[in-house]
Amino acid sequence: MTANLASRPLARLPPEVNRTLYVRNLPFNVSSEDMHEIFGKYGALRQIRLGTTKATKGTAYVVYEDIHDAKQACEHLSGFNVANRYLIVLYHQSGKATQSVERRAAETARLQREHGVSGTQT
């Protein structure tokens, strides 16, 4: 393991890089074993969570033990063909969705005050 760490470049990673990958455009019938086979080639996996509901089917979160392994997987598997579907692999941005919702709510409240609208329907 020490040799593996020593061979890695000491360059600073971009801020969006993290150990959790968000995978979209998965075939609906992909199994956990398939995911381990595809993503396990790039390093030790901590967790894979496949979407199971109608809204999340075809998506997954893949968590690596090491951030460098996640970076390699993201670079190599984005656009990878699985059962005639091209994967979309992104870094998970935990605060991004929350910030977007909060920003829209603040903007809505500002516009309601500005135009004298209450926001409730009568």
Note whether residue 68 is domain-resident.
yes
pLDDT tens digits, one per residue of 74-96: 999 999 999 999 999 999 987 65
Note whether residue 106 is domain-resident.
yes
pLDDT tens digits, one per residue of 12-61: 777 778 899 999 999 999 999 999 999 999 999 999 999 999 989 999 99
Q: Which of 8, 83, 15 is nearest to 43 (CA)?
A: 8
What CATH number does the domain containing 44 carry?
A: 3.30.70.330
Kindly report the number of other CB atoms within 10 A of residue 118's CB atom. 7
Note whether residue 29 is domain-resident.
yes
Predicted TM-score (pTM) of this structure: 0.69
Give the number of domains in the chain.
Answer: 1
